[in-house]
A and B are shown apart, each in its own frame.
Chain A
Amino acid sequence: MNRLRILVVDDDKLAQRVLAEHLGSHDVHFAGDLVSAKSALGAGQFHICFIDIQLGKDDDCSGLKVIPLAAAKGIYSVVMSSHDSEGMVDNAYELGCDDYYVKGNEESNVRSILGKYLQKRTGLNAEQIFSRQFITQDPATRAGILEGIKYAPSDLPILILGPSGTGKTSLGRLIHDHSQRKGEFVAINCSAYSEELLEAELFGYKKGAFTGAGESRKGRLAQADKGTLFLDEIGAMSLNMQTKLLKAIEERTYYPVGSDKAESSEFRIISATLEDLQRLISQGRLRFDFFQRIHGLTITLKPLAQRTCDIFPLVQFFTQGLKRLSFSADAKACMLNHSWPGNTRELKRLMTLLASGHEGRVAKEQVLRHLSQSPAEAAAPAGAFVGEHQYRYALEKGLNGAVDRFIAEVVQRNLAENGGKKTRTLSALKISTRLLYSALKTRIELPKTEPKHGNPS
């Protein structure tokens, strides 16, 4: 991180010391009153100035006079005071301060201020992010990611929605990397564990807590102290586990399995899921208070089939350092029209297969052959009535939504094949008039790139 020159204007020696600890390796200078603050500002240039408003026991808010002096020199001015009246806050902003914080949460506030300042100073290099860290040219996806990075230095919980393989974990890591948090990025897939195992994995356990617990072990919460805890497939977490984690989030303390001694951890939550969380709440599978705790900012990642502009930039990215490939026009069209049920992960697998093959020039047939063997495509058992595409649709929209769409598509197709004669459709499909009209009312929203082939169904 860049070393910044920072002036702290505060008469309280302990407050000065606390800020000095949080500002770590930066070049920190102190002023305890207005005169020394003016002198310091006159003598040198600073990047950031932290200003307490009341400088001394009988002081008449002389810290306010420091704000315009610092602002006039282009210094990022941050008030940190115990004055929290609306009038005082308005006054400070009118005088030119950039941020106003009430004292009492220095660790988080200082990290957030430094993060925001550095983002502002260096500017977010969007091109570098989207060409190296999260490959996308899709404007909506880019906007969502930039929004996430903007909030990265804060403690705000972030919820990432999107189908499997769209890059939710990569985005979580990217946000962590821009957060200025000292701790680690710790990811866990909630669906990969039973309730008991998830508790042990998250909270850790003491020796002898259960059969097989031969040694005490720290959990992911402890690992994520001062860092980020990334909870993938959050919708798979049991209600009981949600209650325990909610308590840990609210109180910042938790009990390892088999321990009666509370442990603490300061972690930021980023969660991800492909499920509709509102639906889980209405089904009683997700606690509303838990949902409120995890969805400060929501970012939605679209399926790859809905951002086809990313396919070839991703191809280039995945084949870096490997054999370069050349795609025939129909191979390209085939890839653009594929439904990509496994999303980016499926594309990466395809590129690995193609780059490891004998041919550098890729024809449509090769693409089709590999895609038809892709695990995502093959996920539906042979002879299954419901293909992978329909299955994913049902997960995304709910079973009722998928059934409605199925009925509407069959009815509308049959009606078209019968030249619009409703009686023939009623007879062919053996359905009631009521169902026919209901199906005709259903508007079928086809994705922009409705698959023309490669659809596993």
Chain B
Amino acid sequence: METPPELRRLLHDLQSKSASLKSAAQLLRECPPARQREMIPLMIQETQEILRCLSDYDKLIREG
């Protein structure tokens, strides 16, 4: 069964944003505190986007 386009797009966004978040987390330990303070708001924003993707995905599969 082929994945509907909307789900496919959400899956892509989920993968993309999770990958960025993981890469940013790996970088954190090497960044000086000032740069960490700049990165953390972006990471929080990304996390919220991931939550939005998951919530939309959940809604779509519940609607069938």
Instruction: Bin chain B's interface residue count.
Output: 20 to 34
A22 to B26, CA, bound (A): 11
Q: A15-B16, A57-B13, A102-B19 are in contact. List 14 more A-B contacts (CB 8 A).
A: A12-B20, A13-B42, A14-B39, A14-B45, A15-B23, A17-B24, A17-B38, A18-B23, A21-B27, A52-B16, A83-B12, A103-B20, A104-B22, A107-B23
Chain A, 43-66, CB within 8 A of any chain B CB:
52, 54, 57
Encode contact with A along B36-56: 1 for CB under 8 Å, 0 otherwise. Answer: 001100110110000000000
A57 to B14, CA, bound (A): 11
How many pairs, one residue from A and one from B, have CB atoms within 8 Å of each other in the complex? Answer: 55
Closest to B52 in A: A57
A residues less than 8 Å from B16 (CB atoms): 12, 15, 52, 54, 81-82, 103
Closest to A15 in B: B20
Q: Is the CB–CB distance between B42 and A104 below 8 Å?
A: no
Encode contact with B along A70-110: 1 for CB under 8 Å, 0 otherwise. Answer: 00000000000111000000000000000000111111000
Whole-angstrom distance from the CB of A457 to the nearest CB of chain B? Answer: 56
Please give the number of chain A residues whose Cβ is less than 8 angstroms from any Cβ of chain B in the complex. 20
Whole-angstrom distance from the CB of A434 to the nearest CB of chain B? Answer: 65
Closest to B22 in A: A104
Encode contact with B along A106-135: 1 for CB under 8 Å, 0 otherwise. Answer: 110000000000000000000000000000
Q: Is the CB–CB distance between A18 and B20 below 8 Å?
A: yes
* Residues of A contacting B: mostly: mixed
A residues less than 8 Å from B39 (CB atoms): 14, 17
Encode contact with A along B8-40: 1 for CB under 8 Å, 0 otherwise. Answer: 000011011101111110110001000100110
B residues less than 8 Å from A13 (CB atoms): 42, 45
Which of the residues A14, A22, A57 comes within 8 Å of B20, measured between beta carbons?
A14
Q: Is the CB–CB distance between A103 and B19 below 8 Å?
A: yes
Q: Is the CB–CB distance between A82 and B31 below 8 Å?
A: no
A residues less than 8 Å from B42 (CB atoms): 13-14, 17
Whole-angstrom distance from the CB of A252 to the nearest CB of chain B? Answer: 10
Whole-angstrom distance from the CB of A267 to the nearest CB of chain B? Answer: 15
B residues less than 8 Å from A107 (CB atoms): 23, 26-27
B residues less than 8 Å from A22 (CB atoms): 27
Q: List 9 A-B contacts (CB under 8 A).
A: A14-B46, A17-B39, A22-B27, A52-B16, A83-B12, A102-B19, A103-B20, A105-B23, A107-B27
B residues less than 8 Å from A105 (CB atoms): 23
Max chain A C-beta neighbours (<10 A), residue from B17, B20, B21, B35? B20
Q: Is the CB–CB distance between A14 and B24 below 8 Å?
A: yes
Q: Is the CB–CB distance between A18 and B24 below 8 Å?
A: yes
A residues less than 8 Å from B27 (CB atoms): 18, 21-22, 107
Q: With A12-B16, A15-B20 known to touch, is A21 a contact of B31 (CB < 8 Å)? A: yes
Q: With A17-B39, A17-B42, A54-B12 known to touch, is A12 a contact of B23 (CB < 8 Å)? A: no
